Amino acid sequence: MDLSYGQHYEDFRNETRQFIAANAHLAPNGLEPDRAKMRAWQELLIQNGYVARAIPKKYGGFGAEPDILKTRIIAEEFARAQVSPGLGGQGIAYLLPALLELGTEEQKQQFVGPTLRGEIIWCEGYSEPNAGSDLASLSTSAVLDRDEWVVNGQKIWTSTAATADWMFCLVRTEPTAPKHQGISFLLFSMKTPGIRVRPLETMTGDSHFNEVFFTEVRVPKHQIVGQRGQGWQVANLVLLHERDDLGDPDATLLRLNALIDLMKSERVDGRRVIDNPVYRDRLMKIQGRVMALRFNDLRLLSARLNGKDASLAAMVVKLQGTELRHELEGLAIDALGELGILYRDSPYLRAGGSWQFMYMLYLGLIIGGGTSQIQKNIISERGLGMPREPKPAT
């Protein structure tokens, strides 16, 4: 048991802090990111190895050896300083790992660098109105017509579709093959004729998600990642990398600290909320759960670093993390009481309504990316070896 990272990494942490201190004034701030400023920041981060660290130089990355601890330290330090860690988005997070592993050389040259630099913004065409939890049953089709795929169908839950330049999209190309073997992974420009985007307003009031309709959309034949019929495997590879993304390890802790501050500053009948033992106990319960997940996260970091198996510990992260955050935000709203039902530009609003927003957003995150019920199926089947439910007789 040794929680220290070692001198080499402590030096790296110090370098990272110095870089942030020296350059933070150049970083875009979260509220209304200026696209040009964001691209310049991204360029600076790549040059210095704070983004795309392990992506080869020839594809526009920094070209260093993959190093989990350095990736971790970078995430921690940028979060601590509340400075933009660079471009996020599905292209960088999900598409690039798939391209780097399964793309052709031409595809890597065409897409990796521009994506990293923010010149191409991607959206993800996966879910459909009739293919949510059962994604593999998707029916958006692509039929080969000489040297073009002709795409017809509809996607839903497509974030940033309205502003994206390109889409990576799962389509059915082998209608007679078994469900998981009939899917292909296509890439195409969002400017291709026949694509219509319709925003979806969610309960938070935002329209971050969209529906996307495809009518006779023509995609050049070579714009496919992997072989035809292999799309499901490509998508799953992407999900494996999703698990490697450790995200912001301190986000929940920062939120808990904000909640403690809120309960100290808010008064009911003239008394601080935190002085009410009922609320204080709820807060301490949340803290205990936050601590358990932080230590679990530490175990996962170490397991990945040292090649140990902690697969069950990894399987429970999404389920436990999203449910905990939703409850934490919910406690804040209870601490606010009637003030917790205000929203948008109302007087007396606290924290710009972020507690209310996050409470709803996290319900969305409990459902999205694999519902809690799907997570429990996965945990019971792959984690505990329990039998799958029998398929209905056809």
Residues labelled catalytic = 242
Shortest Å, Cβ 351 to another protein: 20
Rounded CA-CA distance 167/126 in Å is 10
Please pick, from the candidates 26, 143, 292, 351, the single residue that binds another protein as defined by CB under 8 A. Answer: 292
Rounded CA-CA distance 75/247 in Å is 7
Residues 6+ apart with CB under 8 A from 42: 51, 86, 87, 116, 117, 118
- Does 379 sit near another protein (CB under 8 A)? yes
Please pick, from the candidates 289, 325, 335, 358, the single residue that binds another protein as defined by CB under 8 A. Answer: 289
Please pick, from the candidates 275, 337, 346, 352, the single residue that binds another protein as defined by CB under 8 A. Answer: 275
> From its phi and psi, is residue 347 left (phi > 0), alpha (psi between -120 and 50) or beta?
beta
Please pick, from the candidates 260, 339, 349, 365, the single residue that binds another protein as defined by CB under 8 A. Answer: 260
Please give the biggest Cα pair distance in the chain.
75
CB of 19 closer than 8 Å to CB of 48: yes
- Does 254 sit near another protein (CB under 8 A)? no
Structure tokens at 24: 């933070």
- Does 251 sit near another protein (CB under 8 A)? no
- Does 298 sit near another protein (CB under 8 A)? yes
- Does 256 sit near another protein (CB under 8 A)? no
Q: Is the dihedral of CA 109, 115, 116, 122 positive or negative?
A: negative
Q: Between residue 74 and residue 113, which ones bind another protein under the rule CB under 8 A?
A: none
Please pick, from the candidates 109, 233, 296, 354, the single residue that binds another protein as defined by CB under 8 A. Answer: 296
Please pick, from the candidates 36, 236, 271, 295, the single residue that binds another protein as defined by CB under 8 A. Answer: 295
Q: Interacting stretch for another protein, rule CB under 8 A, among 45-53, 140-148, 234-242, 312-320? A: 312-320
Report how many residues bind another protein under the rule CB under 8 A: 54
Shortest Å, Cβ 109 to another protein: 36
For residue 221, give the DSSP letter.
Answer: T
Rounded CA-CA distance 167/358 in Å is 27
Structure tokens at 99: 């391209």
Please pick, from the candidates 142, 283, 358, 361, the single residue that binds another protein as defined by CB under 8 A. Answer: 283
- Does 393 sit near another protein (CB under 8 A)? no
Spatial CA neighbour of 312 closest among 300, 324, 294: 300
- Does 288 sit near another protein (CB under 8 A)? yes
Angle made by CA atoms 213, 217, 222, in degrees to the nearest 5: 130
Shortest Å, Cβ 76 to another protein: 13
**Cα 306 to Cα 12, 65, 303, 310, distances in angstroms:** 20, 16, 5, 11
**Radius of gyration, CA atoms only, the chain:** 23
- Does 313 sit near another protein (CB under 8 A)? yes
Spatial CA neighbour of 98 closest among 6, 149, 3, 168: 168
- Does 316 sit near another protein (CB under 8 A)? yes
- Does 388 sit near another protein (CB under 8 A)? yes
x/- binding map, residues 12-51, to another protein, per CB under 8 A? Answer: ----------------------------------------
For another protein, give the closer residue by CB, 55 or 274: 274
Spatial CA neighbour of 290 closest among 340, 314, 335, 254: 254
**Residues, the chain, total?**
394
Q: Which residues contact another protein (rule: CB under 8 A)?
A: 1-6, 9, 69, 260, 264, 274-275, 277, 280-281, 283-285, 287-289, 291-293, 295-296, 298-299, 301-303, 305-306, 308, 312-313, 316, 319-320, 373, 375-377, 379-381, 383-390
